Structure 1
Amino acid sequence: MSTHADVPVKSIARMAELLRTLQLLDGAGVSELARELDVSKSTAYNHLKSLEEYGYVVQEDDVYYVGLGLLDHGEYARQRQPGYQLIRQKVREAADETGELCQYLVEEHGLGVFVVRESGDHAVETSTRIGNRVYLNHVTAGKALLAYLPENQVSEVIDQHGLPGKTEHTITSVESLQAELEAIRERRYAIDRDEHLRGLYAIGVPVRLDDGQPIGAMSVAGPANRINHEQRAEEIAQVLLEKANEIELTLKHSPV
């Protein structure tokens, strides 16, 4: 590739890094952003003004923030997910029936992305939000997905991202993960025991196409003292399996 062809690619990468940094800092001025990115103030300023022109950045006094221009792209991407409206409805139903936090996650570039999030009457608040990217081995929905992905794809995920730890209970070895995925397939649902957040337990199930390929996974999460009981876990799993089956049958016979 020529030097000239490299320039726009580097520019895009810099702008993506700038947006992530602005979000991480919850807003920043030109000088602070330049220091964080290790670039000149003029470079940071020029990128900010370019992004501001398209609505991806807004300026409030001397501070720049991520703008709502990105929201349209995100919502478009979310609604491209197979059966999105139906899945959103079923996630809402699962949250109402369990009273807990219910989420739907899909895999993209080897990571999990939360695309639906609904709270029941007794749901706890967590730090996750729509669009959050997580390592698949960190969350129960991620493990439910991995359990039904082809082996070569699971290997690609591990090669690309590894199996980083989050808490002392996170699965971080290939051997332990393989055993866990086999257990998930046997009982038909995944369990998260303090693996993503201490004190938080979760149950997750995959949503699969007619050929068995998972398109995403639903999960219900709550405090350990409410979820960490065999009967309660089974009740939640049955709710999720029922909702997943309804989605799968609808997509099979009348794709939405």
Structure 2
Amino acid sequence: MNTQDGGRTLQTTATSLRVVETLRELDGARVTEVADEMSLAPSTVHAHLTTLADNEYVVKTGDVYQLSLEFLSLGEYVRTRRKAYRIAESYTEQLADETECRAVFTVEENGRGVYMYTFSGTHAVWTYSTVGKRFYLHQTAAGKAILSQLPESRVDTIVEKWGLPAATENTITDAEALLEQLASIRERGVAFNHQEQLDGVKAVGVPVNGSDGQVVGAFSVASPANRMTDERFEEEIPETLLGVANEFELENSLT
């Protein structure tokens, strides 16, 4: 099997990865349950699970298979492999303390957003921003902040691949409207989420760039809409975010 860029892929590896994803979705399962979910023969699934278990990526309790803590080690390595990712943690926590809201550091990978760090302030609201979760960039303040720093051709590619699905009635679903908003975000350096990902939640986000001028990620702060006055939403929170972003970029540029 060949990919669109001409690279050769292995079906057995792809199947093993699907088994891993299925175990996660099912929160652990028996061979027959995984086989039914994947529409594969039990013998095929058993062979993949046995291989994963032999390599300690899966553990078996009775007849139930679960993902092992080996993925925790891999995940932490991925999250800290870049200097920018490592130093973002303390700044995300600082944002949560200063704003008393939920603060998040987000990056983009393969055209989607990924939550890297999240901290809760005194008055934080629960959101979908759990570490490692992937989401559509156009639905969030952090995602739009990142998109504003990408070339328009890259934005077009992302929209073509993932579309502009709506999470609420406020989500932007028109490509032209999105590009207009990204231009405004680029000019001010601040992105807003007016209940576009989750009803009842507002958020503000700012992009952060590396010393090469390329976007590294974005910081954002979320709060219940009824607690976020216009002044706080449009002035106070953006000012705090921009200040923290500047500090982050300065530290990241130091060798």
TM-score by length of 1: 0.92
Q: Which digits, 9 at most, give the CA deviation of each residue in 1:165-220, with x for residues without a partner?
A: 22221111111101111221233211111111111111000011234321100100
- The Cα shift of 1:229 comes to 2.1
Distance (whole Å) between structure 1 residues aligned to residue 174 and residue 218 of structure 2: 22
Match in the other structure for 2:45: 44
1:151 equivalent to 2:152? Answer yes
Match in the other structure for 2:136: 135
- The Cα shift of 1:60 comes to 2.4
Match in the other structure for 1:249: 250
Match in the other structure for 2:13: 12
SS in 2 for 1:83: helix
Match in the other structure for 1:238: 239
SS in 2 for 1:148: coil
Match in the other structure for 1:175: 176
Match in the other structure for 2:106: 105
Distance (whole Å) between structure 2 residues aligned to residue 16 and residue 243 of structure 1: 38
Superposed structure 1 runs of 4+ greater than 4 Å apart = none
Distance (whole Å) between structure 2 residues aligned to residue 218 and residue 81 of structure 1: 16
Distance (whole Å) between structure 2 residues aligned to residue 168 and residue 61 of structure 1: 46
Question: Is residue 54–residue 69 contact of structure 1 (8 Å, CA) maintained in 2?
Answer: no
Distance (whole Å) between structure 2 residues aligned to residue 61 and residue 109 of structure 1: 37
Question: Is residue 105–residue 116 contact of structure 2 (8 Å, CA) maintained in 1?
Answer: yes
Distance (whole Å) between structure 1 residues aligned to residue 59 and residue 202 of structure 2: 38
- The Cα shift of 1:36 comes to 0.6
AA in 2 matched with 1:22: L
Match in the other structure for 1:184: 185
RMSD value, Cα: 1.8
Decide which moves more: 231-240 or 141-150. 231-240
Question: Is residue 82–residue 215 contact of structure 1 (8 Å, CA) maintained in 2?
Answer: no
AA in 2 matched with 1:70: F
Distance 1:231 1:99, change over 3 A: closer
Question: Is residue 101–residue 123 contact of structure 1 (8 Å, CA) maintained in 2?
Answer: yes
TM-score by length of 2: 0.92
Q: Which digits, 9 at most, give the CA deviation of each residue in 1:42-83, with x for residues without a partner?
A: 111111111122222222222222221111111111112342
Percentage of identical aligned residues = 43
Question: Is residue 114–residue 134 contact of structure 2 (8 Å, CA) maintained in 1?
Answer: yes
AA in 1 matched with 2:198: L
Distance (whole Å) between structure 2 residues aligned to residue 200 and residue 53 of structure 1: 45
Match in the other structure for 2:194: 193
Decide which moves more: 92-101 or 179-188. 179-188
Distance (whole Å) between structure 2 residues aligned to residue 108 and residue 228 of structure 1: 33
Match in the other structure for 2:116: 115
Alignment coverage as a number of residue pairs: 251
AA in 2 matched with 1:61: G
Question: Is residue 87–residue 252 contact of structure 2 (8 Å, CA) maintained in 1?
Answer: no
SS in 1 for 2:166: coil
AA in 2 matched with 1:178: L
Question: Is residue 148–residue 212 contact of structure 1 (8 Å, CA) maintained in 2?
Answer: no
Distance (whole Å) between structure 1 residues aligned to residue 54 and residue 86 of structure 2: 32
What does 1:24-39 correspond to in 2, within 5 Å?
24-39=25-40
AA in 2 matched with 1:202: A
What does 1:75-86 correspond to in 2, within 5 Å?
75-86=76-87
SS in 1 for 2:227: helix
- Give the gaps of 5 or more residues in structure 2: none
Question: Is residue 79–residue 86 contact of structure 2 (8 Å, CA) maintained in 1?
Answer: no
Distance (whole Å) between structure 1 residues aligned to residue 223 and residue 61 of structure 2: 38
